């Protein structure tokens, strides 16, 4: 919480630490103590996670949680020595993200447009959701956290509060502007309630749109496009970044737009672009 991490991350770290202490206490929570933490115990805990089928990514996160906790405990004199730095864990796999082709993304936007033409408030909202996600590449939690005042129509930008409470400004295009304006003018008023406050996007009962609902919306819209891999909001984010790079945007610009803390995270998208170029070359060049 002090580092400004998301509630999901805080909850995950807390669960990891509790699981570690319970493991060291032999499965009895009442006997759990910080003083019981040592390197063999940490290794035993990770080994039990591996035996239970935890993925490399999950184990890497849990090891990071343990190291952060033992460092804190050592600084606060709850541990005589910090065993965390000597704890090794498998590196998480960095898999290449699945992305839509530009024509597939366009087809998905067209599907949302057809639904919105009926004038149904929920359909108008759904179009605004997918258009904004693809136009800006924002995270789904960032999208759902937008307020009415965060949209500047004159500049066609949104103000986003991202990870670590870092604020950034992200531009969007004409189709997204049109979809958001239609939602605000004709759809939002039909769903607004005392729970709405200043939230830009609303659920069917008038409260702020839940990220789970936004995920379902994206899955439904993309799933309606034939021969398109199932994907959610993060897939649209990956697609937006990849299409920006393929269109000539530089890494620093894409890093700024996506709100990545480090350039290394953004560089993952260059691998996607290279892989797609290689696939096209293999498919089309006579001497590939």
Phi-psi map region of 59: left, alpha, beta (phi>0 left; psi -120 to 50 alpha)? alpha
Residue 91 belongs to some domain of the structure: no
Phi-psi region of 99 (alpha: psi -120 to 50; beta: other; left: phi over 0): beta
Closest CA to 55 of 24, 95, 96: 95
* CA separation for the pair 232, 212 (Å, rounded): 10
CA gap 13, 68 in Å, rounded: 9
Which bin fits 203, alpha (ψ -120 to 50), beta or left (φ > 0)?
beta
Q: Is residue 212 part of a domain?
A: yes
Examine the fold and report which residue of 60, 86, 112 is the final residue of a domain before the chain moves on: 86
What's the pLDDT score for residue 284? 77
pLDDT confidence bin for 264, thresholds 50/70/90: confident
Q: What mean pLDDT do residues 157-165 have?
A: 85
Q: 68 in a domain, yes or no?
A: yes
User: Taking 80 as the threshold, does the pLDDT of residue 278 lie above it?
Assistant: no
Domain-located, residue 250: yes
Are 13 and 75 part of one and the same domain? yes
Q: Which residues are marked as active site?
A: 139, 163, 234, 237, 260, 269
CATH number at residue 53: 1.10.150
Q: Could you tell me the pLDDT band of residue 157, with boundaries at 50, 70 and 90?
A: very high
Q: Which of 2-11, 103-112, 234-243, 245-254 has the lowest mean pLDDT?
A: 2-11
- pLDDT, one tens digit per residue, over 193-230 is 999 999 999 999 999 999 999 999 999 999 999 988 88
Question: How many residues belong to the chain?
Answer: 288
- Tally the domains of the chain: 2
Same domain for 70 and 194, yes or no, is no
> Which token pair is 101?
């082709």
Give the pLDDT score at 257. 87
In a domain, 191, yes or no: yes
Q: Looking at residue 208, what is its pLDDT?
A: 96
pLDDT, tens digit, 9 for 90 and up, residues 17-29: 999 999 999 888 7
Tell me: pLDDT of 174 over 90. Answer: yes
Looking at residue 95, its pLDDT comes to 64
The band of 280, judged by pLDDT with boundaries at 50, 70 and 90, is low
Q: Please indicate, yes or no, if residue 184 is contained in any of the structural domains.
A: yes
Query: Would 97 be classed as within a structural domain?
Result: no
The two structure tokens encoding residue 264:
């290394």
What pLDDT sits at residue 272? 64
**What's the whole-number average pLDDT of the chain?**
88
DSSP class of 92: P
pLDDT in tens, 81-134: 999 999 987 776 666 667 899 999 999 999 999 989 989 999 999 999 999 999
The domain of 187 spans 102-284
Residue 283 has pLDDT above 80, yes or no: no
Q: Residue 249 is part of a domain; what is its CATH number?
A: 1.10.443.10
As a whole-number percent, the residues of the chain with pLDDT over 70 amount to 94
């Amino acid at each position: 919480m002090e580092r400004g991490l998301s509630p999901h991350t805080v909850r995950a770290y807390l669960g990891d630490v509790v699981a570690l202490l319970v493991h060291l206490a032999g499965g009895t929570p009442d006997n759990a103590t910080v003083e019981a933490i040592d390197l063999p115990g940490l290794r035993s805990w990770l080994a039990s996670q591996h035996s239970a089928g935890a993925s490399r990514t999950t184990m890497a996160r849990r090891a990071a949680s343990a190291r952060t906790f033992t460092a804190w405990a050592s600084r606060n004199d709850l541990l005589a020595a910090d065993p965390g730095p000597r704890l090794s864990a498998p590196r998480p796999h960095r898999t290449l993200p699945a992305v839509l082709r530009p024509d597939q993304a366009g087809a998905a936007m067209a599907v949302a447009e057809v639904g919105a033409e009926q004038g149904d408030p929920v359909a108008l909202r759904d179009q605004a959701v997918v258009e904004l996600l693809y136009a800006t590449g924002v995270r789904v939690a960032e999208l759902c956290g937008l307020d009415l005042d965060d949209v500047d129509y004159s500049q066609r930008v949104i103000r986003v509060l991202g990870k670590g409470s870092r604020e950034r400004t992200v531009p969007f295009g004409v189709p997204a502007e049109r979809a958001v304006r239609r939602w605000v003018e004709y759809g939002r008023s039909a769903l607004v309630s005392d729970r709405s406050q200043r939230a830009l996007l609303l659920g069917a009962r008038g409260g702020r749109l839940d990220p789970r609902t936004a995920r379902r919306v994206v899955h439904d819209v993309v799933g309606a496009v034939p021969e398109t891999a199932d994907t959610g909001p993060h897939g649209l984010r990956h697609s937006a970044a990849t299409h920006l790079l393929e269109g000539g945007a530089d890494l620093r610009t894409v890093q700024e737009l996506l709100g990545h803390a480090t350039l290394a995270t953004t560089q993952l998208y260059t691998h996607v672009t290279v892989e797609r170029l290689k696939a096209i070359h293999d498919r089309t060049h006579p001497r590939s």
